[in-house]
Amino acid sequence: MADFQTPSEKLRFCGKLEQFSTARHHLGFYTNVQLSATYSHPTSIVSLEPLIFAALRKIISQHSILSAIPLDEHTDSPYFARLPSIDLRTCVEFLTRKSPIPRDGQPDEELETIIAIHHNKNFKDGRGTKPFWRLIVLHAPSAATTEFTASWVYHHALADGASGLVFQHHFLAALQSLSRSDLLKINSEPIVKSSTSPLLPSLESLHPLPISIWFLLKTLWRQWFPASRVGLWTGNCITPPSADSTPTTTRTKTLVLDKVTTKRLVQLSRREGTTLTGTLQSIIAASIFINLRDSGKDHQHTRLHSSGAISLRRFLTLPSHDSDGNSLAELDINEQIGTWAGPYDFDHYLASSKNRGLSKATRVADLFSWTEARAIKAAISTEVSKNLSNNPIGLMRYISSIPTFFTSQIGKERSDSFELSNVGVSKGLPPDPVFVSGKEVERDRSESEEGGKWQVGRCVFSQCASVAGAAVQVSAVTGGDGNAVLVFSWSEDVVDGKLVEGVVRDVEEGVRSILSDGKGDEDAVKVD
């Protein structure tokens, strides 16, 4: 193994949004994000490791952030430094499946176990010698395989949720380009020299994030005179991890909606004037209300506060040249890896009449409301229409020390009941396009006829539990197999696992009931 040098090339300081993740990682408040994709090929691949290494070599050369690691996370001025090189043997792990890859609508229990293990592993081990990301390759036991699952686990300061899909899109493109070559000629050397390109700018460098005086005053007012929390459920108070900043233990539970169910739910959501995100968020809220009732807490909790993530790339334009004078004109920000996402929030209330609300509800569909689902879509649209004006991220400039901000939250009530982050649909729907600078190009038919192309199937997006974040994290993505996959993650220190497992079960039942009914009870849940 090659000798590694401590990174000496300082790239740039972390932006405030990136510091939000560096501080949490240092404190053990938040470890990582992951996005998995299952790849298949019509012909057997005799040697998987050289192919994976060659594909990663291509991606690393294209995205300088993959060679960058945040240093001084414990300070108020963390920065990115470049690793001189990456030994892929330190960050790529090959595991053999014990059961077949699941098909339409089937859960992947093996992958879920692996994801949970890695959500409980931070990037502090060997700091300065390996990247702040890992790739876990889960493959069939046979020497020659036609499919495998690649799970990319990464530090949140390097990349947002949408970047997980971007990574997989470029991984697909790399596989497509390599599949036309003789595998024996592939450069499978595990030591990869880092890209020399500068990092792309932080969010704060790409947008002014204007804050009006009225928005600032309103925020200060809420700090001084907090709103009533009567009826609000947000799990247990914020408690710190162990003294050595070991990450809090993450538990996960996965829900897979088969292709037909996913398609029908999307179509019904559109017919009702909302989106899949709006529908799922309303179903999750109804499921939590019902499970709180079943745990004997219905008289205490009549309100939930949810949050979600919005990709901010639509508002951002990359500069014409980077800091070295290289042209960025050909780069599409939608196909780049970085941290460019922001929040939205929403309040869910039970109707005041118990006779028509929770006490009479026997299933999620009794509480579900299309009115609320449409209101969620409207809330997201309102946030988008502001063009990043008065965005909470803009307020971070007034926080002098983000690590201190997080430690000051210990012992306090958390703000959010649950978070739903839906990164959307994988672009790898068959027949898979090749992505070049964010644009689709047609398949090479001659190559397709000769050996076929790689296809993307099931995708799984998930996050670790968040010490100071929502009590329950829900991460969603729809893969190339048409299955919508939701991963629920939580910490037992914050919420009882039995409650979350009940929520997952009722979300699945709720989806099927709503599709069967074609409607929900409009009066059971009111909109603020």
Q: How far apart are CA 390 and CA 393, in angstroms?
A: 8
Helices (H), 192-325: 203-206, 213-224, 259-271, 276-294
d(CA 472, CA 414): 11
Asked if residue 285 has pLDDT above 70, the reply is yes
What pLDDT, on the 0 to 100 scale, is given for residue 4? 45
Note the pLDDT of residue 354: 40
Supply angle C-alpha 85, 16, 118, rounded to 5: 50
Is the CB of residue 265 less than 8 Å from the CB of residue 478?
A: no
The arithmetic mean of pLDDT across residues 448-463, rounded, is 78
- The C-alpha atoms of residue 3 and residue 5 are separated, in whole angstroms, by 7
* pLDDT range class, residue 167, cuts 50, 70, 90: very high
Coil, strand, or helix at residue 307?
Answer: strand
Average pLDDT over residues 298-309: 87
Helices (H) and strands (E) counted in the chain, each on its own, are 13, 19
Taking residues 257-268, what's their average pLDDT?
A: 98
Q: Tell me what the mean pLDDT of segment 225-242 comes to.
A: 89
Mean pLDDT to the nearest integer, 15-25: 98
Best-predicted range by mean pLDDT (43-47, 194-198, 279-283, 321-325): 279-283
Predicted confidence band at 170 (pLDDT cuts at 50, 70, 90)? Answer: very high
- The model's confidence at residue 143, banded by pLDDT at 50, 70 and 90, is low
Looking at residue 142, what is its pLDDT?
Answer: 77
The C-alpha atoms of residue 320 and residue 169 are separated, in whole angstroms, by 24
Query: What is residue 19's predicted lDDT score, i.e. its pLDDT?
Result: 98
pLDDT value, residue 414: 96
Q: Which of 205 and 179 is assigned the larger pLDDT?
A: 205
CA distance 112 to 102: 12
What is the distance between the alpha carbons of residues 429 and 449, in angstroms, rounded to a whole number? 19
- Average pLDDT of every residue of the chain: 88
First to last CA, the chain: 60
Band (439; pLDDT cuts 50, 70, 90): very low
Q: Is the pLDDT of residue 297 over 70?
A: no
Q: pLDDT of 374-385, one tens digit each?
A: 999 999 999 999
Burial label for 1, CB within 10 Å (0-12, 13-18, 19+), is exposed
- 169 pLDDT more than 80: yes
Burial of 258 (0-12, 13-18, 19+ CB in 10 A): middle
Token pair recorded at residue 292: 């709180």
Rounded average pLDDT over 484-508: 97
What's the average model confidence in pLDDT over 190-198?
Answer: 93
pLDDT (tens digit, 9 = 90+) per residue, 397-415? Answer: 999 999 999 999 999 999 9
Average pLDDT for residues 197-203, to the nearest whole number?
95
Return the residue matching tokens 């600078």. 437
For residues 21 and 157, the answer to whether their CB atoms sit within 8 Å is: yes
Tell me, what's the pLDDT at 353?
41
Residue 477: pLDDT over 70? yes
Cα 487 to Cα 161, 447, 456, distances in angstroms: 13, 37, 19
pLDDT in tens, 97-125: 999 999 999 999 999 999 999 999 999 99
User: In this predicted structure, what is the pLDDT of residue 509?
Assistant: 97
Smallest Cα–Cα separation from 311: which of 203, 205, 449?
A: 203
Q: Is the pLDDT of residue 146 over 90?
A: no
Residue-wise pLDDT tens digits, 316-372: 999 888 877 878 878 899 999 999 999 999 999 986 544 345 556 678 988 999 999
Instruction: Confirm if 272 and 383 have CB atoms less than 8 A apart.
Output: no
pLDDT of 435 over the 80 cut: no
Residue 92 has pLDDT above 60, yes or no: yes
Q: Is it the case that residue 173 has pLDDT exceeding 50?
A: yes
Confidence band of 60 (pLDDT split at 50, 70, 90): very high
Structure-model confidence comparison of residues 432 and 351, the more confident one: 351
Domains of the chain, CATH where assigned: 9-202+422-459 (3.30.559.10), 211-311+334-420+469-475+482-527 (3.30.559.30)
- Tally the residues of the chain: 528
- Is the pLDDT at 3 greater than 70? The verdict is no
Neighbours of 148 (CB within 10 A): 22
Q: At what angle do helices 497-517 and 259-271 cross, to 10 degrees?
A: 70
What is the pTM for the complete model shown?
0.91
Select from 340, 332, 317, 318 the least CA-distant residue to 438: 332
